[in-house]
Amino acid sequence: MNRKISQQIAFTLFRIFGLLVVVILFSILGFIVVNGIQVINWEFLTTAPKDGMTTGGIFPAIVGTFYLIVGSLLIAFPLGVMSAVYTNEYAGRGWIVKIIRMMTNNLAGIPSIVFGLFGMALFVNKLGFGDSILAGSLTLSVLVLPLIIRTTEEALKAVPDSFRTGSLALGATKLQTIRKVVLPTALPNIITGLILSVGRISGETAPILFTVAAYFLPHLPTSLYDQVMALPYHLYALATSGTDIEASRPMAYGTALVLIGIVLIMNLIASFIRRRLERKWKRN
Amino acid sequence: MIEAKNINFYYDEFQALKNISMKMEPNSVTAFIGPSGCGKSTFLRLFNRMNDLIDNTRMEGECIVDNQNIYDKKMNVDTLRKQVGMVFQKPNPFPKTIFENVAYGLRVNDLGNKQFIQERVEESLISAALWDEVKDKLNKSAFELSGGQQQRLCIARALAVSPSVILMDEPASALDPISTLKIEELIHDLKKDYTIVIVTHNMQQAARVSDKTGFFMLGELVEYSDTKKMFLNPEKEETQNYITGRFG
Amino acid sequence: MKHNEQEMEFLKEELYQMWKMVISQLEKVKQSFLKNDVNLAAEVIAVEKSVNAFELKMDKSCEGYIALYTPVAIDLRLILSIMKISVTLERIGDYANGIARHVKHGECSHFNDTVVEMLDVEPMFDALLSMMTDSYVAFNSESSANTQKILAKDKEVNEIYRQSIKKLTEYAKQNQEDTHCVMMILLLIRNMERIGDHCKNIVEEIVFYLDAKVLKHKGKTD
């Protein structure tokens, strides 16, 4: 009897904490949606900010964030996947792999503001890219690289060894085996990693602070060396350093809503692709 | 023809095979039996150099397949594996369509144009006694097939690259009795075109499918003779004890 | 057809050949006895070696089949009956050989015509031959429908045998100079009666194989 009661108490506690997470998530989302939805309209999404950012829209920031996502993924994705393929498929179990893995883990633990500082020192100043999409994308890609490597490695580990031996036993080379069997099989899980990176890239403020983000730039970038506005930084600016903080408050909520919306849409697209790939090869 | 001469094989310090010499005739089925860990699978994997994939292993002796010493420095391992096909314990089709599974070996080895591949896939599926069951769903995922069908698909996949030898590592141990029978029938049919070497835990299977049987124990080849003789009148007492179930 | 089924067909085929060989031996022995044909008898004696060789070959094939395929149920019954039938056929061959030797030896050839006339030798041979052929057909067609008919034939043979003893005893009393040959003929008739018994055994094996009922030592009338 006693055991039964203590078990019930434990389960109830677990259930409460489990639900708590949902409650917190929905409060945040609800808060943002309720406050932000009133400013969302066509003009808000398609025009530049006006009147000291108290009216107008956030179009340049949306475009900027989009460029940064695409730019940093273009750099980090191939790099991360190749690195994971090397450590998981080629390198065996030697000390090199151990070091690479340790470094990757350490990289993942560094605070994002440090990446910003590093990006400014290397890409902006040393390499002379200036505050630019290029420098910002590079900085963000360094930031998400460990994430992509880790998730890709997990995805590769989930590919059964029997696929590899089966392919090698047919006279395929190791490279062919990786290209034609291992990577396609791991793809759905690699895409999961990609989804996580998109969320990370679009939400980070600190790394872009010193490397790309413009406080106010009403026109769109024309080259890789241009500065852009970005949603998280724009949100930060609206909330802390606008000309009239009270007047631009609704704009800030609107921006937050758009930011969440973009991440959500990206996630949906990616998980749609993932699910289709998975269904295609579902094991019975 | 396959010949092994004075093979010693080591995993680190552990000697898995002890001075094994044997010949396997072309167009025949040779079975290896023996208790777990006796070295029979290790021995099998020597012939397509699958043991190369395992770290810290060492081999002494000579393996000769079709008059070539396959451990010669000049030997191209990928070419060897095309020549010596392998079927594994668990069916391991790739996450591709049925057609692409069979075409895989041809594609990676750059064998033939589109039409040739099409014909070869059909031929291989026919040889593997699977064509009638899959001809209408070649573009479906291989995972939609049953376990037994998947294993026959893996056999078709191995046949597609025209090997001369097929190694089978307990090809039916993961299958139900009916599928097992189908695989055994298939082995009989394939014998006329290929040299087949099969490792099996199932002594009855060895008896049913093979022409010659080798009995391994503790890394040694205890007895190697005609299957009929081995199961009627084995020479060694160990063999008798093992095949009659009096072992250990 | 499955591989082990093919092997089994092969075994059956071997048995059929042996069967036909023994039937033809019996046929020839009948002719040679009735016509006192020494050459035909010699032929039978020459073929006897092949019949023996056949039995050894069947033995080996059956052993091999059991070792490799561990048959059960109907396959097991079939292989066991094949083994026993082949042994029985060989025995029948032996008896036929014995009769042929008697004919070839010729010491009682003067007596032969009397025997054929006095005893029902021809009907006895015919009964044996029909038992052999009918059981062959029963096995070949896997039908136990005619088995009772075949078993009835054995009773016929036994009856002829009993009558023959009586007749021969009578004859021996009156023709004492022929006692030796009467004894010889008695042995031959006895051999023929044994052939009948063996045919009966074969039928029992067929029934065992087909219906798995053991008939042996059950309701024997004599």
**pLDDT one-digit tens code per residue, C151-200:** 999 999 999 999 999 998 988 888 888 888 888 888 999 999 999 999 99
Band (C222; pLDDT cuts 50, 70, 90): very low
Residue B24 CB contacts under 8 Å (≥ 6 apart), including other chains: B1, B2, B3, B30, B195, B197, B212
- As a whole number of angstroms, the distance between CA C57 and CA C79 comes to 14
Chain C CB contacts of B231 below 8 Å = 67-68
pLDDT at A1: 66
ipTM: 0.90
Short-list A251, A155, A196, A216, CA closest to A69: A196
Has residue C205 been placed in a domain?
A: yes
pLDDT at C63: 92
Mean pLDDT within A232-245:
80
Q: Assign residue C54 the CATH number of its domain.
A: 1.20.58.220
Has residue C220 been placed in a domain?
A: no
pLDDT at A209: 85
Domain around C186: 3-211
Which tops the pLDDT comparison, A273 or B47?
Answer: B47
Mean pLDDT within B119-135:
91
Q: Which chains touch C (3 or more CB pairs under 8 A)?
A: B
pLDDT value at B248 more than 70: no
Is the CB of residue B88 less than 8 Å from the CB of residue B142?
no
For A113-154, what is each residue's pLDDT tens digit?
Answer: 999 999 999 998 998 888 899 999 999 999 999 999 999 999
Band (A197; pLDDT cuts 50, 70, 90): confident
pLDDT at C217: 58
Whether B92 has its CB under 8 Å from any CB of chain A: the answer is yes
Task: Taking each helix axis as running N to C, give the angle between helix C109-118 and helix C121-140, from 0 to 180 degrees, rounded to the nearest 10.
Answer: 80
Share of chain C above pLDDT 70, in %: 95
Chain A CB contacts of B92 below 8 Å = 160, 162-163, 165-166
Split into its structural domains, chain C has a count of 1
Mean pLDDT within B153-160:
93
pLDDT value at B206 more than 70: yes
- Is A284's CB within 8 Å of B143's CB? yes
Q: Judge if pTM exceeds 0.80.
A: no
Mean pLDDT within B77-81:
90
Q: Which chains touch A (3 or more CB pairs under 8 A)?
A: B
pLDDT at A234: 87
Which tops the pLDDT comparison, C36 or B93?
Answer: B93
> For chain A, where are the alpha helices, taking DSSP H only?
2-36, 42-46, 59-85, 95-109, 112-119, 133-157, 161-168, 174-177, 183-203, 206-209, 231-240, 245-280
- Determine which of B185, B192, B228 to mutate to test the interface with C (most C C-beta atoms within 10 Å): B228
For residue A184, the chain B residue with the least C-alpha distance is B95
For C22-45, what is each residue's pLDDT tens digit?
Answer: 999 999 999 998 888 889 999 999
Has residue C156 been placed in a domain?
A: yes
Is the CB of residue A166 less than 8 Å from the CB of residue A100?
no
Which strand (E) or helix (H) includes residue B166? strand B165-169
- As a whole number of angstroms, the distance between CA A31 and CA A249 comes to 13
Mean pLDDT for all residues in chain A: 87
pLDDT at A137: 93
- DSSP letter for C219, please: S
Short-list A142, A279, A157, CA closest to A201: A142
Which tops the pLDDT comparison, A231 or C133?
Answer: C133
Q: Which chains touch B (3 or more CB pairs under 8 A)?
A: A, C
Mean pLDDT for all residues in chain B: 91
- Is C3's CB within 8 Å of B188's CB? yes
Give 3-state DSSP helix, strand, coil % of chain B, rounded to 5: 40, 25, 35
- Is B92's CB within 8 Å of A170's CB? no
Short-list C222, C29, C15, CA closest to C126: C29
The amino acid occupying position A160 is: P
Band (C220; pLDDT cuts 50, 70, 90): very low
For C76-125, what is each residue's pLDDT tens digit?
Answer: 999 999 999 999 999 999 999 999 998 888 788 777 777 877 888 889 99
Query: Distance from B144 to chain A by nearest Cα, in Å?
Result: 7
Whether B120 has its CB under 8 Å from any CB of chain A: the answer is no
Has residue C144 been placed in a domain?
A: yes
Band (C219; pLDDT cuts 50, 70, 90): low
pLDDT at A36: 87
Q: Choose among A162, A173, A184: nearest Cβ to B78.
A: A173
Computed over its alpha carbons, how large is the radius of gyration of chain A?
A: 23
Mean pLDDT within B122-137:
91
pLDDT at A265: 85
For A209-222, what is each residue's pLDDT tens digit?
Answer: 888 887 777 778 88
pLDDT at A284: 40
Domains identified in chain B and CATH numbers: 31-41+77-243 (3.40.50.300)
Domains identified in chain A and CATH numbers: 52-280 (1.10.3720.10)
Mean pLDDT within A17-21:
93
pLDDT at C55: 93
What is the count of residue pairs from B and C with beta carbons less than 8 Å apart?
A: 24
- Is A170's CB within 8 Å of B141's CB? no
Band (A172; pLDDT cuts 50, 70, 90): very high
Has residue C219 been placed in a domain?
A: no
Is the CB of residue B33 less than 8 Å from the CB of residue B213?
yes
Question: What are phi and psi for residue A57, nearest 5 degrees?
Answer: -130, -160
Band (C213; pLDDT cuts 50, 70, 90): low
Q: CB-based burial of residue A268 (10 Å sphere; 0-12 exposed, 13-18 middle, 19+ buried)?
A: exposed
Mean pLDDT within B232-236:
90
Short-list A227, A225, A132, A145, CA closest to A193: A145
pLDDT at C26: 93
What is the count of residue pairs from A and B with beta carbons less than 8 Å apart?
A: 79
- As a whole number of angstroms, the distance between CA B245 and CA B35 comes to 11
- Determine which of B94, B159, B170 to mutate to test the interface with A (most A C-beta atoms within 10 Å): B94
CB within 8 Å of chain B, chain C residues 63-82: 63-64, 67-70
- As a whole number of angstroms, the distance between CA A196 and CA A224 comes to 25
